[in-house]
Amino acid sequence: MIVEAGQVHGFLGPNGSGKTTTLRTLLGLIEPNGGRMAILGKEVPHHLPEVAGQVGAIVESPQFFPHFTAELTLSLLADAGGVNRARVPAVLDLVGLRDRAKERVKTYSLGMKQRLAVASALLKEPKLLILDEPANGLDPGGIREMRTLMRDLSDSGMTVLLSSHILGEIQLICDSVTIISAGRRVTSGSVAEVLASHRSGMVRVRLETGVDLLDAANALREAGAQVTLENDHFTVANASNPALITRVLAQRGVYVSELTPVSADLEDVFLELTGTAPVAGQNRQVDESAISGAKNGWGQ
Amino acid sequence: MSLARAETRRLFRRRFTSVILISVLLILAATAVGSFFSTEKVGETQIAAAKAEAEANYQEAVKTVAADKQRCLTENPGNAAACDWPDPSPSDYDYTWYMPETFNLRAEYPTMITLLAVVLAGAAFLIGASFVGSEWNSGGMMNLLLWRPRRLQVLGTKLAVLLGWFTGLTLLLGALWTGIFTFIATSRGTTEKMTGGVWQSFGLTGLRGLALVVVAGAVGFAMASLGRHTGMALGALVGLGALQIGVYIMAQLAGAKYPEAWLAPMWAYAWMFKEFEVFDYNSCNFSADSGCEPDKFVLTWQVTGVSLAVVTVLIVGASLWAMRRRDIT
């Protein structure tokens, strides 16, 4: 996984796939048993102390000593890290906790603790921000604020590595993504590249006016296509070779007026690559990653 | 230094620390006030009163014995031998037993030093365990390690801050304690026979007390860090108590000569008072002068000191090793 400087990079994977373990290992909380990692050009964990001051991070759910106020919590971290305490009010204001700064953390909701965690990561004005599920517990407004914040931080030159399950958010704010499953990378690249390289395989088909849709659909079904009828068109789900649709229909004297690929979103790509799409009548277990049998698509 | 400053702030901003330290001060204040009001200076007046009381009690005893003899003779006519009780002796009514309680600095201050050390050791254990245990339990340790990834430096600084402040606190309270009891002895007791050697002995007892405080703080801290929860240290303490009772009973049942020597508090006693003697009352070493003398085992402060040091090094070492090797989750 390579995160380019100045980008917002999404780090995705199903539950138990190893996202948090990867981040913990990167941050020196878990000892690696092999491989190579580097942050800001320095090999870690060996050189982690040298770069730790430039890395702001929250890992998994935010945890703080519950009897301290947010202000005290951050000022203690500032002292420990040699950061000027004067920054504390500024970051609390940035995450929307200015007015609740003098309340004990135990009175905070999950979303407020999450904001405090982000504030603690921002306190040292990091060059690299690593956020594990930062939108956990946030209300819709908070999620939008977080999105704006990430974007602003990125615009200011900060590199952001973001792990999240809210794929719509990732698609909106990330420049690039890495998707892992069962501890292994399954794809990476810019969001546009990943989406382009993993088309849904679904096409929308419209026919000339007056043609019987049902007859045409049945003809395709006989050839193995997964067809779903709509009002004035139908879709073919496993059309990895759309030319076959035109051939089958043309052989019956039916001509296509529209053949459009239905674009995939990040959620579709994620579910396909990780094999975690729900299947009717089955209870998928956490570590199951059953890649679809139609991986290669109909017609190939 | 910034980490040490942060840890000092964290230590003293915790409510638990305040509650325990205030409790310590209240216990010490109650002891000092109780000592002040329960003793008084002995002069001619007190000696005369004690002698009068001893004489009155002697006379009362003489009267009572005479009356009892008379009643006995009435009830047993012709059997005077049965009522031949010894008369009370004036030596049975030593006036010094009737003297008011007075504080003797030379004789009693070592006990007061031990009291101070034990109270502070208890506080150090609890505060040490809670200081690091709650950090682990609340996730604060992980946050801190994201800022300062050198694990041993973080844990070592926390421990050093704890022990440094407790050393300072013990020295400060020790000085105050000495001042208070010197004042009590001067105003309500006696400072007789206070030589330079006695003060030196007090100083050495105080240093052993300081070591006890440091050991208790380090062990409480290390146990809680090993278990990553305050409850680990407290549970170990309760477990040790239960184990002590079990070991003592088993040692007795097994016929061990000195079962008391297996009790940890006795080791602390030996450390503070330089030695602790235990006897095997089932044995008899006859001598013409003193009759049957039981076998004796002396637990010395040197032995207990080395033992405390070994236990402390093992537990603190284990906690440092675990900090270095175990994953932070």
Residue range B194-253, pLDDT digits in tens: 999 999 999 999 999 999 999 999 999 999 999 999 999 999 999 999 999 999 999 888
Hey, are the CB atoms on A72 and B13 less than 8 Å from each other?
yes
* Cβ contacts of A75 on chain B, cutoff 8 Å: 9
What CATH number has the domain bearing residue A228? Answer: 3.30.70.980
Hey, are the CB atoms on A52 and B149 less than 8 Å from each other?
yes
Claim to verify: residue A20 and residue A130 sit in the same structural domain: yes
Decide if A29 contacts B136 (C-beta within 8 A).
no
Q: Is residue A107 one of the residues assigned to a domain?
A: yes
Q: Is residue A290 one of the residues assigned to a domain?
A: no
The pLDDT score that the predictor gives to residue B210 is: 98
Claim to verify: residue A132 and residue A242 sit in the same structural domain: no
Claim to verify: residue A42 and residue A191 sit in the same structural domain: yes
Rounded distance between C-alpha atoms, residue A3 and residue A198, angstroms = 21
* pLDDT lower than 50: segments of chain A: 291-300
Q: Is residue A179 one of the residues assigned to a domain?
A: yes
- Which of A27, A68, A72 faces B146 most closely, judged by CB atoms? A27
Tell the residue number behind the tokens 């698509």, with chain if given.
Answer: A297
Is the ipTM value over 0.90, yes or no? no
* pLDDT lower than 50: segments of chain B: none
The pLDDT score that the predictor gives to residue A280 is: 64
Claim to verify: residue A217 and residue A87 sit in the same structural domain: no
Mutation site, B130, B132, B146, B325, interface A, largest A CB count within 10 A = B146
Which phi-psi region, left, alpha or beta, contains residue A243 (left: φ > 0; alpha: ψ -120 to 50)?
alpha
Burial of B218 (0-12, 13-18, 19+ CB in 10 A): buried
Q: Is residue A298 one of the residues assigned to a domain?
A: no
Claim to verify: residue A184 and residue A257 sit in the same structural domain: no
Claim to verify: residue A72 and residue A220 sit in the same structural domain: no
* Cβ contacts of A30 on chain B, cutoff 8 Å: 327-329
Q: Which domain holds residue A255?
A: 201-261
Task: Show the tokens assigned to A224.
Answer: 């193995």
Residue B173 neighbours by CB distance under 10 Å: 18
Q: Does B14 touch chain A (CB under 8 A)?
A: yes
Claim to verify: residue A113 and residue A215 sit in the same structural domain: no
Claim to verify: residue A52 and residue A142 sit in the same structural domain: yes
Claim to verify: residue A181 and residue A216 sit in the same structural domain: no
Claim to verify: residue A189 and residue A208 sit in the same structural domain: no
Q: Is residue A134 one of the residues assigned to a domain?
A: yes
Q: Is residue A1 one of the residues assigned to a domain?
A: no
Q: Is residue A300 one of the residues assigned to a domain?
A: no
The pLDDT score that the predictor gives to residue A286 is: 66
> How far from chain centre, in Å, is Cα B269?
7
Q: Of A173, A196, A219, at which residue does a domain stop?
A: A196
How many structural domains comprise chain A? 2
Claim to verify: residue A95 and residue A219 sit in the same structural domain: no
Q: Is residue A293 one of the residues assigned to a domain?
A: no
The pLDDT score that the predictor gives to residue A200 is: 63
Q: Does B18 touch chain A (CB under 8 A)?
A: no
> What distances in angstroms separate CA B46 from CA B51, B95, B105, B106, B182, one per listed residue?
9, 10, 19, 21, 21
Claim to verify: residue A175 and residue A117 sit in the same structural domain: yes
What CATH number has the domain bearing residue A39? Answer: 3.40.50.300
Hey, are the CB atoms on B329 and A65 less than 8 Å from each other?
no
Question: From the CA of A186, how many Å to the nearest CA of chain B?
Answer: 26
Rounded distance between C-alpha atoms, residue B248 and residue B267, angstroms = 14
